Amino acid sequence: MTKLRLKRCITMESGAGNNVMPRRMVMRKSDIRESEGSRNGVHYVAANNGRIPNEGEHDLKFTTVEGNEQCLTFQIAEVNKALCAISYLVDKGYKVIFDKNMKTDQDTSYMVNKETGVITRYRRTRNVWVLDAFVDEKNGNNGQSFQRRG
């Protein structure tokens, strides 16, 4: 099966309280389920102080650059891109490292699942850390948020 790369990747976000992704990234809207946040009328605050309602949640299944299968739960809200909350990862048993080799200037950031030892690398681009994620083509949505694996 063909894998598609998330076009804008998943942004690793230390300032987010929840993983959040836009509804357009979910092909089958029936895969979005009611969440505690959507039931309770939770809203997120945008940078312009606007309020963005929680529309439910979705389990995003993807493959990492290393070939590891991952599944993270994202809240659905009309945001610009997928954000992965560092607090979520820590609460799920990950050790999260942001680092670079000062001699080579290479980014060496990664997260490790403390239970399994599985390492997932993310990268720094334009001063933002992103996680490359690949999803099965059947989970894509006509290319709006995905591009073919290169």
pLDDT tens-digit map of 49-96: 999 999 999 999 999 999 999 999 999 999 999 999 999 999 999 999
142 pLDDT above the threshold of 70: no
pLDDT at 47: 83
Per-residue pLDDT tens over the stretch 11-60: 999 999 999 999 999 988 899 999 999 999 999 988 889 999 999 999 99
pTM: 0.87
pLDDT band at 139; cut points 50, 70, 90:
low
Per-residue pLDDT tens over the stretch 91-132: 999 999 999 999 999 999 999 999 999 999 999 999 999 999
Go through the domains of the chain in sequence order and give each one's CATH number.
3-92+126-136 (2.40.70)
Establish how many alpha carbons lie within 13 A of residue 129's alpha carbon, considering only the half-sphere containing its beta carbon.
21
Which stretches of the chain are DSSP H helices?
36-39, 86-91
Fill in the amino acid letter for 135: V
149 pLDDT above the threshold of 70: no
pLDDT at 138: 67
At a CB cut-off of 8 Å and minimum separation 6, what does 44 contact? 18, 20, 51, 52, 54, 77, 79
Query: How many angstroms separate the CA atoms of 43 and 48, rounded?
Result: 14
141 pLDDT above the threshold of 50: no
The CA-to-CA distance between both ends of the chain, in Å, stands at 14
